[in-house]
Structure formats: C-alpha cells, structure tokens
C-alpha cells in the first residue's frame, strides 16, 4: 500500500489531558528508561498508525517532538480528547489511546487497526475476556471519523462516560484474551509495582 494512501486511511492520537489526580503528578511524564511514558506510547502508536498527535496541553508536551493539540472542549474527560482528535483528523480510521498504558505493543495496535478497517463498524473496541474483569476498553480503540457528530452530541448532552458514548455507536468488540497490554497506571503503587 503506498504510504500516502496509508496516511489517509489511518491516524493515531494519544490522549493526555487528564489531571492525574490519583498519581499526584503528571503520569504522562513518568520516566520509562530514557524517555517518558507518553513518549513510549506515542512511539508505538506512530509505528502502528503511521503518524501520531498528542491531545493535551501544548505547554506541557510540546518539547517532546510530537504535534500537540489542546482539547477543543475542556473539562469533559476523554470524550473531549476523542472529539478533538476526530475534529482534526483527515484519516478514516483513528487509533485513540490513553497515555497511561505502558504495556501496549505495536503488534496489538496494528492488529486492532486492521480489524477495524475490516469490521464495517463505526468503532472497534477491545473486549477483555478474563472472567470477572470483562468489559471493553474505549481508550485503546479505533474510531472512524464519522463518529465526530456522535462525539459532539455526547458532549452537548453531557454524556462524558466513554462506555456510555461507545454504547451509542455502531461498534464491534475485538476479543482480547490477555488483558495485560491494556493495563493502565493510575497510582504510585501501580507504577512502582511494574
């Protein structure tokens, strides 16, 4: 597939607009080897999607070398980041990933994108099948740009929970037997236990 066509089909975004209140500091900037957590996630998203943009405060992340776009609508959580991403994308399929998933792999993200493109749905969301911890992960998912209007409606109606938003879409789930790549880091204890 020619690279230019690939870029029209896919794009990647890392959401980093949260307050990190349980962590006590900006979890996106936690050190991972010689870089930060958000840099690690962004590099993997870019490798899978062909490009990546950070959605969050430019004053905090502009020095990392990635394009950064602030939330167009503030204080509505991840749905605001998703809305921002879908409002600026020129790609059909958009990989949306939270900045706090240190175990994500490029292979998983590539597979997720390929499955989304073949799904015929508006969104493809990983479904964790692990007995008691079953549920879908809307912050490591692929959304078609036609979801923009639905995201705008959700914000207008103050539907800020991502699960509620995804449930309003024509979405499909993508079975994932091993949930560990989707584990996110929210507290200092979770970070130190890695």
Beta-bridge mates of residue 103? none
Q: pTM of this prediction?
A: 0.91
Cβ-Cβ contacts under 8 Å for 16 (sequence gap 6 or more)? 28, 38, 54, 55, 56, 57, 60, 61, 99
pLDDT by residue (tens digit) across 4-48?
Answer: 444 458 999 999 977 767 777 788 898 888 999 999 999 999 999
Q: How far apart are CA 25 and CA 6, in angstroms?
A: 37
Asked if 57 and 29 count as a contact pair (C-beta separation under 8 A), the reply is no
DSSP state of 25: S
Residue 6: its pLDDT value, please?
45
For residue 177, being part of any structural domain is answered with yes
Beta strands in 41-179 (DSSP E): 52-55, 68-69, 93-98, 123-128, 135-136, 140-144, 171-176
For residue 186, being part of any structural domain is answered with no
pLDDT by residue (tens digit) across 123-175?
Answer: 999 998 655 445 889 999 999 999 999 999 999 999 999 999 999 999 999 99
User: In this structure, what CATH number is given to the domain that contains residue 135?
Assistant: 3.90.550.10
For residue 176, being part of any structural domain is answered with yes
DSSP state of 160: -
Find the domain containing 17 and state its range: 3-181
For residue 112, being part of any structural domain is answered with yes
pLDDT by residue (tens digit) across 46-61?
Answer: 999 999 999 999 999 9
Report how many domains make up the chain.
1
Cβ-Cβ contacts under 8 Å for 139 (sequence gap 6 or more)? 15, 78, 96, 97, 98, 101, 162, 184
């Amino acid at each position: 597939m020619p690279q230019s066509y690939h870029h029209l089909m896919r794009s990647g975004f890392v959401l980093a607009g949260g307050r990190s209140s349980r962590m006590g500091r900006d979890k996106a900037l936690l050190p991972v080897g010689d870089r930060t957590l958000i840099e690690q996630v962004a590099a993997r998203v870019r490798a899978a999607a062909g490009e990546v943009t950070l959605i969050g405060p430019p004053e905090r992340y502009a020095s990392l070398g990635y394009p950064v776009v602030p939330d167009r609508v503030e204080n509505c959580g991840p749905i605001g980041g998703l809305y921002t991403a879908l409002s600026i994308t020129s790609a059909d399929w958009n990989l949306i990933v939270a900045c706090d998933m240190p175990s994500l792999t490029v292979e998983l993200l590539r597979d997720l994108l390929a499955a989304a493109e073949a799904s015929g749905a508006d969104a493809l969301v990983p479904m964790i099948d692990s007995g008691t911890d079953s549920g879908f992960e809307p912050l490591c998912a692929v959304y078609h740009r036609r979801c923009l209007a639905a995201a705008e409606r959700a914000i207008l109606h103050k539907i800020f929970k991502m699960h509620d938003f995804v449930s309003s879409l024509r979405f499909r789930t993508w079975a994932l037997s091993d949930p560990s790549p989707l584990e996110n880091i929210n507290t200092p204890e979770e970070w130190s236990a890695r």
